[in-house]
């Protein structure tokens, strides 16, 4: 079946695949296969200090054992920094980015008054360096001007969003003080270059979407469709992660792992003995589920 659909799974190699990250892998793979599309695998190792050596190989092997093979070579963000530089220069030449000298502390301190100062632990940038650096202050990071733009978008899960970036995050960082490219920029450059049409990922990333759409618009990239899924929560109610006890699933029986993911997506479990048996049945289930319904407004515009 030929289709223009391109999907991807984009794990950060900060540890082995666990039940939480598996859900994003499973759902993105199911959605790509149900649409007769391509499925890419991108290792988001742009943040060197957080990368765990060997975790990338581990993730690739675990996915293969579960029957998830990417269509095309695996991509490593650490090999693509020249592309991020290019996109950054494009934005800089147009006056959309500026250097910022503020420390995290200064930004936090500037926000001791007023409601809704922070979202998800991140301080809203007050625009201190927007009109130039104070004399003698060295630039630390680079930020993009969000202006007064409202970003409207509809998730394939039916939720409509209307985000005024100036009041929700402020001008955000594209290149950090330590020189590392920000996730927001890298993800947009990569998804555009690989012509990704559908992004299926955990809903902890819902609030990053408006920032990514802004960058797509500035870089002249097409807007993909988005489907955000409920993330698996740990017992403490936080997103399941290595920090709160998520175990690697590499050694678990594949069908058990796959069915647990399917169950989390509300699709029950299928009878199968091997991944080869599992996939066609699971794809059929996904195809007939509410996850495949696309609300009218979700099409890119
Ligand atoms: N690398 C991100 C993560 O592991 C996911 C990025 C994305 O899917 O856009 O949380």
Instruction: Give the pTM.
Output: 0.93
Burial class (CB in 10 A: 0-12, 13-18, 19+), 93: exposed
Condensed to tens digits (0 to 9), the pLDDT of residues 21-41 reads 999 999 999 999 999 999 999
pLDDT of 110 over the 90 cut? no
Mean of per-residue pLDDT scores for the chain: 92
Assign 301 a pLDDT band (cuts: 50, 70, 90): very low
133 alpha carbon – ligand 1 mean position (Å): 32
Model pLDDT, residue 215: 98
Q: Alpha-carbon distance 17 to 63, whole Å?
A: 9
Position in ligand 1 atom list of the atom nearest CA 208: 9
187 alpha carbon – ligand 1 mean position (Å): 8
Model pLDDT, residue 23: 97
Assign 3 a pLDDT band (cuts: 50, 70, 90): confident
Find out whether 143 and 125 touch, Cβ atoms under 8 Å: yes
List ligand 1's pocket residues with C-beta within 6 A. 10-12, 44, 187, 201, 205
pLDDT of 119 over the 60 cut? no
Mutate to test the pocket of ligand 1, among 27, 40, 42, 44 (most ligand atoms within 8 A of CB): 44
Query: What is the pLDDT averaged over residues 247-260?
Result: 94
The 3-state DSSP class for residue 275 equals helix
138 alpha carbon – ligand 1 mean position (Å): 31
| Least confident window among 58-72, 102-116, 151-165, 214-228 | 102-116
Alpha carbon of 233 to those of 120, 208, 230, 264: distances in Å?
16, 19, 9, 11
Condensed to tens digits (0 to 9), the pLDDT of residues 141-170 reads 999 999 999 999 999 999 999 999 999 999
Q: Alpha-carbon distance 21 to 17, whole Å?
A: 6
């Amino acid at each position: 079946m030929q289709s223009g659909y391109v999907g991807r799974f984009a794990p950060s190699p900060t540890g082995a695949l666990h039940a939480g990250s598996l859900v994003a892998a499973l759902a993105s793979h199911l959605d790509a296969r149900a649409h007769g599309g391509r499925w890419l695998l991108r290792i988001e190792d742009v943040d060197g200090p957080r990368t765990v050596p060997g975790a990338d190989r581990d993730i690739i092997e675990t996915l293969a054992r579960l029957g998830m093979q990417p269509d095309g070579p695996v991509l490593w963000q650490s090999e693509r920094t020249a592309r991020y530089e290019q996109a950054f220069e494009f934005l800089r030449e147009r006056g959309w980015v500026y250097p910022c000298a503020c420390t995290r502390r200064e930004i936090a301190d500037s926000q001791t008054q007023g409601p809704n100062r922070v979202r998800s632990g991140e301080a809203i940038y007050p625009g201190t360096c927007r009109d130039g650096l104070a004399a003698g202050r060295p630039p630390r990071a680079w930020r993009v001007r969000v202006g007064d733009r409202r970003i409207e978008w509809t998730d394939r899960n039916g939720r409509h969003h209307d985000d005024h970036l100036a009041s929700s995050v402020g001008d955000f960082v594209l290149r950090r003080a330590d020189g590392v490219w920000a996730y927001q920029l890298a993800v947009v450059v990569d998804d555009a270059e690989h012509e990704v049409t559908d992004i299926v990922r955990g809903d902890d990333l819902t609030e990053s979407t408006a920032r990514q759409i802004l960058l797509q618009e500035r870089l002249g990239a097409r807007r993909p469709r988005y489907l955000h899924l409920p993330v698996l929560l740990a017992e403490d109610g936080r997103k399941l992660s290595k920090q709160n006890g998520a175990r690697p699933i590499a050694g678990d029986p594949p069908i058990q792992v796959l069915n647990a993911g399917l169950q989390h997506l509300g699709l029950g479990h299928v009878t199968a003995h091997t991944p080869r048996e599992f996939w066609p049945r699971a794809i059929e289930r996904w195809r007939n589920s509410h996850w495949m319904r696309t609300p009218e407004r979700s099409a890119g515009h």
